[in-house]
Structure 1
């Protein structure tokens, strides 16, 4: 359903807590989705099986209400309607992902599914026709099943298969894409998919899974970057990076131990994936802690793979900007010392920290991964700015989760407004270079093991309807107005002053 409410009648937030800095005219405001979460058509037109197809069909008990992405929002068939909604919303950019299995059913370039290529070219052309900039993610968690069966992201050979897939995408879509994301949130894949076993592929290797997975992801990203840089950049004039995700880690007290614990946790969450790319090599605290603990656990070597000098040089600098996803803040405190033999290896213990949240922070009971702490978000932006040599930053995911999907979603408006406000303060008062913000999500969708229980969309989707009817929530109407007015409050400062 298109937006039909007059702008004058839309909800606005008027709060002394929101920034009155204007949103710069060239600041990108957009929305995001991912292929498996919205497309459906899981086995149509030659698409191969992904690890999430396999996982949801094989282990229905691990997903709320045994949900799958088989149909999801049916965006494979409804892409034209989706582009029309994006156009009326007024977004500057649309971040979405390509399904590796829809393009390469076996995961390898020996067989290219031309129907998949055609689908994405139609979508990209539709965005171009409506002056919407695509921000295209090559991989958003849906590994082709044949590659999963080779060990998935714990097998370094996957980096080569990914590089070949990336080259094909640059060749076939590069005339319509100038903003590329190689990989979305390797931290989530590596921790939840290969260490905790709570997301596909469901592996529980607490000792080495996360580190093997991180190594392969970082190497895969670097290979794709170099292919673009050396073979396509001169002609296509685009840019490319990886998306990393992190909460803000606030020390639970002023003690030196808690401050050190919070900094250590930042390195284990974000630094493990960003540091090799932006600074070179793993973070030193991660090298030291995992190495020391590995020796005490009886390992002959560190559980963290060691980069060669050539690999460090090859990976370092493989970015054009910094793409960041964030939803939350935690208080971090010191918990574990490493002083003696400690038994089996565990990534979950390597950082030596404990985490908690403040009960006064706004959140939804039963949804533990989102809380509304804009000041923590601003601190995270400053940390990235200072830690990675002042890169240009775009927020590629940030949003509010609820369990109802109601059209009246004031909490989502408050959350998004507060976080954009934090960005404006970080830009104008801290000198952080942020050039865009992306709401997760464009529409309610399949939220992985939470199925369709958790709603994060600006648009409600009726999953009981064969048509998967979209309806604008109040947050969509509010966001439309913000994009048009470039101001969070009734009157912003004069941008010319």
Structure 2
């Protein structure tokens, strides 16, 4: 065994992330109905064990205790999301909610007083339902409402936030709402999805533009879910399939939000198949070009592996990216069987190197990485602590390749785990647990897992011992 201390740069951001809809609960502040609450009312049977987001981790009532748990698990930074529906409880517009402002100011002040930097995300899948009724991200009216909401947040919380993010995983609602049926309103229409994607990107740019006028010391960026794309082989057909998959799932948001331009090959492909958005102007494109991310969050969970299609496309059916490739199940891959995701630690290095080599080495951090496991009660000791050695190993293995990326010159400033306390995971509810802290849903009791103790030591020592012979 060749054990080495892997030390990270000074002032490295150690922390985790979650979202308002997944952790806060409704509370008494007033809150507009979100698309998730609407969908749960309409189709509760689609949510695991029929659990919605009414209470979740009840953070809105327990935030002071939770901040202390952040300290006890080694956090020097934490990413929250602000609830648009809570800030504007009528329908996402109108008068701002003073009770929401008071809650978030109290939370952010509590974090700052405990030396935990506030990373504030403005949108994490939680569209106010009445704005969805007006067209959601397909509507310019909703773009304007989002920019007004973002501007309000900069004004009300700018003195307390360390870094800002316009969106978390903006690709997710496009895939879920317009292609793959896992987000409300469950439409299958790529062209409408392309319009929603364009207006999401425009909303990002307009929010960056609004942010600049406040001259804050913080930066503003975006958080993207990115997977390095690998072809099955170097056969030209497989390589082309991987290139097209990468255009749809990686470059589609990364290029305009970081570079200010859209990938020409993707635009040409959409034109060829009559899938371009119909509502965009030259001034929109200029705004996108001039207002790009100042910092980039990288959510990494698994690689993407594809191959050339083996079967014909039904051109009478809806247009899908998968017209141009098929997913490849690599023989011998390691899996997190609970979530159905491949475990491939080296992918985090590949991702960071892509950002270094192709995106100006923009200041970045790992904004999500984690392991969801079902029925963690199996691993509780007699004191009720989850002994999650598997999660500790997962974190170490990914951090080792992140350390290597930094050693190779990548401008990576931190690592945020998904997540802090076990939280509600959309239609999966509490099926898979990701937290450093376990949650008893019936009592809301929090208990630090073994991984939470490890994370505190990791943060305190700014590194860990690792067998470097495991690098491949």
TM-score (norm 2): 0.92
Q: Deviations over 1:293-336 (max 9, x none)?
A: 23xxxxxxx43447543322211242111111110013211227
Residue number in structure 2 paired with 1:398:
369
Q: 1:450 to 1:490 in 2, by over 3 A?
A: closer
Q: Secondary structure at the match of 2:342?
A: coil
Q: Secondary structure at the match of 2:287?
A: helix
Does structure 1 retain, via aligned residues, the 8 Å contact 2:178–2:188?
yes
Residue number in structure 2 paired with 1:326:
300
Shift of 1:19: 6.8
Residue number in structure 1 paired with 2:207:
224
Q: 1:444 to 1:357 in 2, by over 3 A?
A: farther
Counterpart selection for 1:144 from 105, 124, 128: 128
Q: Secondary structure at the match of 1:257?
A: helix
Map 1:386-425 onto structure 2 (within 5 A).
386-405=357-376, 406=379, 407-425=386-404
Shift of 1:359: 5.2
Q: Secondary structure at the match of 1:358?
A: coil
Q: How many residues align?
A: 459
Shift of 1:143: 0.7
Q: Does residue 67 of structure 2 align to residue 79 of structure 1?
A: no
Q: Does residue 439 of structure 2 align to residue 461 of structure 1?
A: yes
Q: Deviations over 1:455-489 (max 9, x none)?
A: 11111100122xx0111111111111111112221
Q: 1:472 to 1:290 in 2, by over 3 A?
A: same
For residues 222 and 241 of structure 2, the distance between their equivalents in structure 1, rounded to whole angstroms, comes to 26
Residue number in structure 1 paired with 2:335:
363
Residue number in structure 2 paired with 1:6:
none
Counterpart selection for 1:202 from 185, 194, 197: 185
Does structure 2 retain, via aligned residues, the 8 Å contact 1:421–1:488?
no
Moved more, 255-264 or 88-97: 255-264
Shift of 1:158: 1.2
Q: Does residue 23 of structure 2 align to residue 38 of structure 1?
A: yes
Counterpart selection for 2:111 from 127, 130, 142: 127
Shift of 1:451: 1.0
For residues 434 and 279 of structure 2, the distance between their equivalents in structure 1, rounded to whole angstroms, comes to 39
Shift of 1:254: 1.7
Shift of 1:345: 4.2
Q: Secondary structure at the match of 2:127?
A: coil
Q: 1:348 to 1:161 in 2, by over 3 A?
A: same
Q: Does residue 450 of structure 2 align to residue 474 of structure 1?
A: yes
For residues 49 and 311 of structure 2, the distance between their equivalents in structure 1, rounded to whole angstroms, comes to 41
Q: Secondary structure at the match of 1:116?
A: helix
Residue number in structure 2 paired with 1:273:
253
Q: Does residue 320 of structure 2 align to residue 347 of structure 1?
A: yes
Counterpart selection for 1:381 from 348, 352, 356: 352
Q: Secondary structure at the match of 1:349?
A: helix
Q: Deviations over 1:240-268 (max 9, x none)?
A: 01111122211111222222322321221
Shift of 1:212: 1.6
Moved more, 316-325 or 473-482: 316-325
Does structure 2 retain, via aligned residues, the 8 Å contact 1:207–1:303?
no
For residues 162 and 338 of structure 2, the distance between their equivalents in structure 1, rounded to whole angstroms, comes to 39
Unaligned runs of 5+ in 1: 1-14, 295-301, 493-497
Unaligned runs of 5+ in 2: 380-385
Moved more, 126-135 or 186-195: 186-195
Q: Does residue 343 of structure 2 align to residue 372 of structure 1?
A: yes
Q: Secondary structure at the match of 1:182?
A: strand
Shift of 1:438: 0.3
Residue number in structure 1 paired with 2:383:
none
Does structure 1 retain, via aligned residues, the 8 Å contact 2:19–2:81?
yes
Q: 1:45 to 1:251 in 2, by over 3 A?
A: same
Residue number in structure 1 paired with 2:157:
173
Counterpart selection for 1:303 from 269, 276, 287: 276
Residue number in structure 2 paired with 1:290:
270
Q: Does residue 97 of structure 2 align to residue 113 of structure 1?
A: yes
Q: Secondary structure at the match of 1:435?
A: strand
Residue number in structure 2 paired with 1:5:
none
Residue number in structure 1 paired with 2:6:
21
Q: 1:169 to 1:419 in 2, by over 3 A?
A: same
Q: Deviations over 1:393-439 (max 9, x none)?
A: 1111111111123411112111111111111101112x211111100
For residues 177 and 447 of structure 2, the distance between their equivalents in structure 1, rounded to whole angstroms, comes to 33
Q: 1:58 to 1:131 in 2, by over 3 A?
A: same
Moved more, 276-285 or 314-323: 276-285
TM-score (norm 1): 0.88
Residue number in structure 2 paired with 1:451:
429
For residues 132 and 72 of structure 1, the distance between their equivalents in structure 2, rounded to whole angstroms, comes to 23
